[in-house]
Structure 1
Amino acid sequence: MKDITTNPIERLQSDMAEFAKERNWEQFHNPKNLVMALSGEVGELAELFQWLTPEQAENFPAEKRQALEHELADVQLYLLRIADRCGVDLIAACDEKIAHNRAKYPVDKCYGSTKKYTEL
């Protein structure tokens, strides 16, 4: 396990790699399998919100808060594991994607609109 002063993304990726190695799960943690697992976890996250009204979703029920935290953590951890296994610097990829989206959706054309960039 890395020192806790390390980059939190790298620390989590290291912790996940160690967790898998200790259990001999690396053989199962190929990108395809990890994406399938991530998809399942996203489904579990969606299930928590499935029948909530928009107002209830904004004020998520306190009695389900721990379940929400666990599902969000599952999604994040699988995403980090996929990035690690694929050699993707997730922070750099996110920074690049935000810059790309800023160019694709200029404020003066999309402010307050839900239109896709091809419709602006």
Structure 2
Amino acid sequence: MSDPFVQLHKAMQQFAAARDWEQFHSPKNLAMALTVEAAELQECFQWLTEAQSQALTAEQLTAVRDEIADVQLYLIRLAGQVGVDIEQACWDKMKKNDAKYPADRVQGSAQKYTAYEDPET
């Protein structure tokens, strides 16, 4: 993991240990908590138009920022519990996505990669 992730991982470990929360931080529980936080992030955008979602008020942006942080912190904690290097996992996934979505075949389309699979493979 890159240094910022390592530092945040250590800080999360210390935060949980100081509160005796390790007992609750199983991978299953962390994954469930992550979905709750992701839903809270979605809630920030619920009922907004596309234009409104791209021009948040200062108050709305603060709420979005807090929820993004919650999601990221749970991801860091979960990754630490299962031994995943987030940075490397992201680079690896980007390579997979590049293979699934070749720019010359998917330009300007939001279709799932299965719509672009080569029928000869």
SS at match of 2:108: coil
Cα deviation, residue 66, structure 1 = 1.5
1:62 and 2:35 aligned: no
Matched, 1:10 2:6: yes
- % identical equivalent positions: 50
Any unmatched runs of 5+ in structure 1?
1-5
User: What is the aligned partner in structure 2 of residue 96 from structure 1?
Assistant: 92
SS of aligned partner of 2:88: helix
Q: 1:119 is aligned with what amino acid?
A: A
> 1:63: Cα distance to partner?
2.1
User: In 2, distance between residues paired with 1:43 and 1:113?
Assistant: 26
TM-score normalised by L of structure 1:
0.92
Counterpart in the other structure of 1:74: 70
Matched, 1:85 2:81: yes
1:48 corresponds to which residue? Answer: 44
Structure 1 residue 65 displacement after superposition: 1.9
Where does residue 103 of structure 2 map in the other structure?
A: 107
Q: Which has the higher contact order (CA 8 A, sep 6+)?
A: 2
Mapped partners of 2:66, 2:110: distance in 1: 30
What residue ranges of structure 2 are gaps of 5+ in the alignment?
Answer: 117-121
- Counterpart code for 2:23: Q
- Measured after TM superposition, the shift of residue 11 of structure 1 is 0.2
C-alpha distance in 2, partners of 1:47/1:73? 15
Q: Which runs of 4+ in 1 moved over 2 A?
A: none
